[in-house]
Homo-oligomer: A and B are copies of this chain.
Amino acid sequence: MTTAATRTEALLAARRGRLGPSLSVSYHDPLEIVRGEGQYLFDRAGERYLDCVNNVCHVGHCEPRVVAAGQRQLATLNTNTRYLHESILEYARRLTATLPAELSVCYFVNSGSEANELALRLARTHTGARDVVVLEHGYHGHTQALIDLGHYKFAGRGGQGAPETTHVVPLPDPYRGPHKGYEPATGAAYARHVETAWEQALAAGRRPAAFLAESISGCGGQVVFPAGFLAGAYTATRAVGGVCIADEVQVGCGRVGRAFWGFELQGVVPDIVTLGKPIGNGHPMAAVATTPEIAASFANGMEYFNTFGGNPVSCAIGLAVLDVIQEDGLQRHALAVGERFMRGLRDLGARHPLVGDVRGEGLFIGLELVRDRATLEPAAAAADELVETLRHRGILLSTDGPHHNVVKIKPPLVFTHENADEVVEALDDVLATL
């Protein structure tokens, strides 16, 4: 074995001994990443990798303005929200300014899971009900209550099925789902499943609390919804007294290009929005925004205190992330680069029959590989081989979706036109060999 291989083996052996075995590593030949800069990661040997999947380090790895803001505040004060501090108020003001006016109240937490947990508690306290309609293949976090709402989890390996309070409707997948295409009629057809789910729940004596969905499905395979789906689902949910939660943990904050938040693409205003991964560029922070009415219902005497949530370091970092997105026009940039990227990927379809579908919004892109364009037989092995091969060419990608055949593309927003071309070219080479 080479020295590098020996070292990898030693690190893997240490992980096996010291870390829970429920945690997997990327790639058959794992990477030891020691440094990050912009859209690039560097391994111990100094090799550079183009990061096409890290949707957490949203404005670029170690973005200097974000780093400086965090460093400054770390050295000044890091305490809790029982004292007054300007930064949490300024951050709440800036965040809510990006949201519809109705969503004027913020809660600050430490992770997407904590945000979705709180959203669920807000919805259940406000409605006095417990039942939730969710999408097939959805993932909303790793706490027990969220596993009970995540079809990807409770119906997947090691899962124990859904509790009676969870109602699953088909993922509105225009490519592979029961209704095809992006037209409003398709959106309405999928929304009718939500309506039916509530009808059946009510008939069974259940009481509606919420409809919970990502605005674009991540674990479902980077699935962009047909027009009008969320509007129809929201109408059906509100008609029975439920509230609507948009999970923007993976989707939001400028990535989708045409809008700052994913739900805007569907022309809806949620009652509760959860924000996570990208807002802190890697710093453990997340948030929930909701209406004053729901916030008032939640203030029922039980306090909600979050030890770390909204601390001055997190707020300083969150503000810097918003500044960078605005100063550098990253939302517009994501739109332009994403469109060029998707054009390039679609062109590959002419030469490579494996390319089944290319879809996305801005820099939230899925490339679905199939063995047969008529039957849509998933090409999971090819997707896996493609990801492994590109890793050895210095390009980091991963797969997603229930059939593991969707190549996921969600790079830091500083990704350039040239980066997109480079990936398309590399894919062209590799697809020819699969």
Contact surface of A with B, Cβ cutoff 8 Å: 8, 11-12, 14-15, 17-26, 30-36, 41, 54, 56-57, 61-62, 67, 70-71, 74-86, 88-89, 92-93, 96, 104-107, 110-114, 117-118, 120-121, 125, 142-145, 153, 156-159, 276-277, 281-285, 290, 295-296, 298-308, 310-311, 313-314
Contacts and interface: CB of A to CB of B under 8 A. Distances in A.
B307 A111 contact: yes
Given A18-B106, A71-B75, A84 B158 contact: no
Contacts of A121: 144
Given A79-B61, A158-B302, A107 B25 contact: no
Contacts of A21: 295-296, 298-299
A84 B32 contact: yes
Contacts of A82: 24-26
27 contacts: A12-B84, A21-B295, A21-B299, A22-B304, A23-B107, A23-B303, A30-B84, A31-B83, A32-B83, A32-B84, A33-B77, A33-B83, A34-B77, A35-B77, A36-B78, A41-B77, A41-B79, A61-B79, A62-B76, A143-B143, A143-B144, A143-B145, A144-B144, A145-B145, A156-B301, A282-B311, A284-B311
A79 B54 contact: yes
A281 B78 CA distance: 9
Given A56-B308, A61-B79, A284-B284, 10 more contacts: A11-B89, A19-B88, A23-B81, A24-B82, A31-B84, A71-B75, A79-B282, A111-B307, A112-B307, A120-B144
A23 B304 contact: yes
Given A79-B57, A284-B284, A301 B158 contact: yes
Contacts of A84: 8, 11-12, 15, 25, 30-33
A159 B83 CA distance: 26
